[in-house]
Amino acid sequence: MVKRVYNFNAGPATLPLPVLEKAQSELLDYKGTGISIMETSHRAKEFDDVIKEASSLMKEVYGIPDNYKVLWLTGGASTQFFMIPKNLMKSEQGADYVNTGTWSKKAIKEAKLLGNVNVVASSEDKNFSYIPRDIKFSQGASYVHITSNNTIFGTQWLTYPDTGDVPLITDMSSDIMARKIDVGKFGLIYAGAQKNMGPSGVTAVIIREDLIESGPDELPTMLKYKTHAEKDSLFNTPPCFPIYICKLVMEWLKENGGIEGAENRNKQKAEAIYKVIDESDGYYKGHAELDSRSLMNVTFRLPSDELGAKCIEEAKAQGLTGLKGHRSVGGMRASMYNAMPVEGAKKLAEFLKEFQENNKVEG
């Protein structure tokens, strides 16, 4: 038996074991072709089936309406930070951005190079521990951009803002397909695959058709959504193997209760850890405010940095890895994306309770 641990890394993150096993079993001889899918032409029928199924399964499982396209692109979510304004920032008024953390800031920085950016709300005043409410959006903005889940700070939009006719564009890199949403309320959703969908190297973009059409003609070919939409993400060689893994992840999701199943498991996992934090008499201090807590990344600190380091080390010895918090928050972070089993979260919860018992602080 191969030794596997519970991997709480923030990304690249854990993948479903059945997906890895399937990939392993097909690695050398893909469906009787005698070659790997990695060695297959992206124009071959075998790969064409893979990319079509990845998109159609994603549409089915996530409930994506017919007037949206799924694109499989490269360059990570970070490339979307400039591709979005390049394609969609039109009016003099520019676009509205909400600043809820490091990734929002990076998106804002790129957009500012290309046009007017209105930062209409920010939670920087409290080290991004909450999601701003009652935001007033600008008149005539080209779009509104938000970061759905703030991977580093452990906050998440529990309900999305109503932006009326202005397209809502959302970085869902760390919570795509983690819960049921109304995709029809968004203009564009994008996500680097490496947290909730597959390996690094591919970025999924779900885009409403009218936004594809409205892009400018003068952009370099590779930067236009239209190019990739017209060629079904096969304008150039796409990241074939990561797309193949995403397809396996979609199949796994479908077989395991779809989005409802994933959401249900994600809630159980997050609740298990938040419960330990809330019942610890302040031993574990959550970073996120209660109404902004992420289902995906649970961020918390211990009474001292020394205890934090000890806790991370002891957890690792018990097969619970990847728990070190990001330096901008400190402490610990448990990232529990779709592929983290409920048992992993339960084991971590038990471990944290015991750690507190065994490492009491005086006064």
As beta bridge partners, residue 7 has: 321
Nearer to ligand PLP, 174 or 338 (CB): 174
Site string for ligand PLP, 21-60 (x = CB under 6 A): ----------------------------------------
Region near ligand PLP per CB under 6 A, out of 49-57, 72-80, 241-249, 280-288:
72-80
Site string for ligand PLP, 77-116 (x = CB under 6 A): xx------------------------x-------------
Q: Answer yes or no: 195 catalytic.
A: yes
By C-alpha distance, which of 281, 278, 260, 280 is closest to 270? Answer: 278
Q: Answer yes or no: 291 catalytic.
A: no
Pairing of the two strands 68-73 and 6-7: unpaired
Shortest Cβ 239–ligand PLP spacing (Å): 12
By C-alpha distance, which of 51, 62, 70 is closest to 245? Answer: 51
Distance of CA 330 to the CA centre of its chain: 21
Q: Answer yes or no: 171 catalytic.
A: yes
As beta bridge partners, residue 157 has: none
CB within 8 Å of 215: residues ≥ 6 apart: 87, 88, 224, 225, 226
Measure the CA–CA gap between 270 and 131, rounded to whole angstroms.
18
Choice among 72, 103, 157, 252 that is catalytic? 103
Q: Does 299 bind ligand PLP (CB under 6 A)?
A: no
Count of residues near ligand PLP by CB under 6 A: 11
Shortest Cβ 204–ligand PLP spacing (Å): 11
Shortest Cβ 121–ligand PLP spacing (Å): 17
Q: Are 127 and 148 in contact (CB under 8 A)?
A: no
By C-alpha distance, which of 309, 355, 310, 361 is closest to 330? Answer: 309
Site string for ligand PLP, 125-164 (x = CB under 6 A): ----------------------x---x-------------
Q: Does 239 bind ligand PLP (CB under 6 A)?
A: no
Q: How many CB atoms lie within 10 A of CB 313?
A: 11
Choice among 171, 226, 247, 324 that is catalytic? 171
Q: Which helix (H) or strand (E) holds 20?
A: helix 17-26
Helix, coil or strand: residue 207: strand
Give me the residues that bind ligand PLP (CB under 6 A), please.
Answer: 11, 76-78, 103, 147, 151, 171, 173-174, 192
- Any idea which residues carry the catalytic annotation? 103, 171, 195
